[in-house]
């Protein structure tokens, strides 16, 4: 089944969250199961909307989820719960 935009955003943010909020770009692309071109589009959008940030550490560049990204995950979960509760 094809994932919609909101599901893809949720999946990317969830992968980052599940990786202790620090993941390198290549594993993130691989785990999100998107082409690098398509991933790049989502990455730019998530960055510009403040859902994720790039962080430099002594081990290189990592991607991290922001408070805004965490709120998205929470609201997404609430909406899905509502839909499932009312069998919509």
pLDDT in tens, 8-31: 999 999 999 999 999 999 999 999
Tell me if 13 sits within 8 A of 72, measured CB to CB: yes
- CATH class of this structure's domain 15-79: mainly alpha
Give one DSSP letter per residue of 10-62, joined into a string: HHHHHHHHHTTT-B-HHHHHHHHT--HHHHHHHHHHHHHTTSEEEEEETTEEE
Q: Where are the domains of the chain?
A: 15-79
On whether the CB atoms of residues 19 and 72 are closer than 8 A, the answer is no
Distance CA 80, CA 27 (A): 27
Over residues 72-82, the pLDDT tens digits come to: 999 999 999 99
């Amino acid at each position: 089944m094809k994932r919609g935009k909101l599901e893809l955003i949720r999946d990317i943010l969830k992968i980052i969250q599940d990786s202790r909020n620090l993941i390198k770009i290549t594993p993130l692309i691989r785990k999100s199961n998107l082409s690098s071109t398509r991933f790049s589009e989502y990455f730019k959008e998530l960055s510009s909307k403040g859902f994720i940030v790039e962080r430099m550490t002594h081990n290189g560049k990592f991607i991290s989820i922001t408070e805004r990204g965490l709120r998205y995950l929470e609201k997404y979960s609430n909406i899905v719960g509502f839909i499932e509760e009312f069998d919509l």
